[in-house]
Amino acid sequence: MARDIDYSLYLVTGRDLLPPGKDYLETLEEALKGGVTLVQVREKTADTGEILAVARKSKELCRRYGVPLIIDDRVDVALAVGADGVHLGQTDMPVPVARALLPLGTIIGKTCNTPAHVRIAVEEGADYVGLGPVWGTLTKQVKSPVVGPRGIGELLHALDGTDVKAVAIAGINSTNVLHCLWGSVSATGRQLDGVAVVSDIMAAPDPLAAARRLAAPIRAFYASPLRTFSRGPSPAAPYTVDDIKAAVGAVLQAVREHAPLVHQITNNVVTTQSANATLALGASPIMATAPEEMADLGRAAGALLVNFGTIQNLDGMLAAGRNANINRKPVVFDPVGVGATTFRRESANGLLSAWQATVLKGNAGELAAIADSAEVQARGVDSVGHGFADPAQFVRALARQHRCIIVLTGVTDWVSDGFAVAALRNGHPLLGAITGSGCMVGTAVATFCAGARLAAPHPAEVLAVTVASELAAARADVRGSGTFLPALIDELGRLSAADFLERANVELV
């Protein structure tokens, strides 16, 4: 039985990646000082004698820091140096054969790229699996399709009910490690036990600092109660309807007091009215799409909205989301019409693999496409059918799967953080008679996120538009959709905490 191992920051070595003038053992020691918890010696081109020498020196150094040593591929080398374990690829020696040759308690890992690979590794008795590739990598030729965190979640599902550990590998660095850990989760809540990193440490001029940049967020993730997002009861205090209504007014006041910058990449049909809605709520909009601007905007903006209704500037969307994640800013994703075409579905998958959404907002057809559910169909940007049989369960499950807040818009709006579910029954039929009312909800979501920074998830952002729509429709000067839109902008600007307390129709399900 293999002993308990800390897989959280798993370094895979590669001497070919060392910067000019950097020594291998010096880099390894700095990485160990920086927080690496497990080391795999990977030597693909050296001869056996050279691999033995590198492995022996690596073992001596790892022992000094109390860190286990794994040898890649070579069972003979692992035996010769007394390594703690061996990592096997899909074309290497079968796990049972390696187990018979190695001492009792030796760690054996297996590379897995498909659920079938994972199931076989479990049956063979592997102690852990290396799952990937998560993202593209320059360290080796990637033969299997890049799966992203969502794909890692599917691979983790094959480990349900087992004690086999799992690490993700390929393309992981200090800027995306939290997204990898947070976003890689199975439908039943199985999570990663660690991440394997190669070039972000081995190619770094300062491997000590590089390892520390990785170790700090990894330790914070595993120490946080929020990492159990997909399991058990909510880590937060239970919501009440009165709490939600009070939170709406408090966030609105914060928006108007601080006027946060809200970065929006939105479709060209609604750019002007989205900007006007942002201003009316008290925030400041910036509608920027160039990838070259995203590093600066990621630091300056209070929140990011990505609405790809007209599918333009995907490079800008990718860069914007990554920079928002790096700067810990909320990201609202509104995948308008995602179920309409293959291109839209592939684009949404690419974006959700590249960065972590804080809020995922859409109508029934859009969210069904994201969930790969046939329960509701899409026609263009609209939904077809009668909706979900159990919308409360749908939004709760989708929130847990994507580790974010879900906003399902419709006649009744449904909001869930994966634990609580709120049904919101405000709004007016005239919202459906104007172009972009759903997009305006996305704008309000991002604006309220910028004000609240999501300290406590709530449906405030949805209520802003729906309550304002009721107030606008009741005005004497509103005679149809043409007069409704400017009145709606007016009422967004006049909203008060008292309006929410008086008019918000909220039910906790």
The set of catalytic residues is 439
DSSP string computed for 115-178: HHHHHHHHHHT-SEEEE---S--SSS---SPP-HHHHHHHHHHTTTT---EEEEESS--TTTHH
Within a 10 A sphere around the Cβ of 231, how many other Cβ atoms? 13
Three-state DSSP class for residue 502: helix
Backbone phi, psi, residue 343, to 5°: -60, -40
Distance of CA 339 to the CA centre of its chain: 21
Length of the chain: 509
d(CA 310, CA 345): 13
Residues 12 and 198: beta-carbon distance below 8 Å = yes
d(CA 333, CA 419): 20
d(CA 462, CA 305): 14
d(CA 232, CA 46): 49
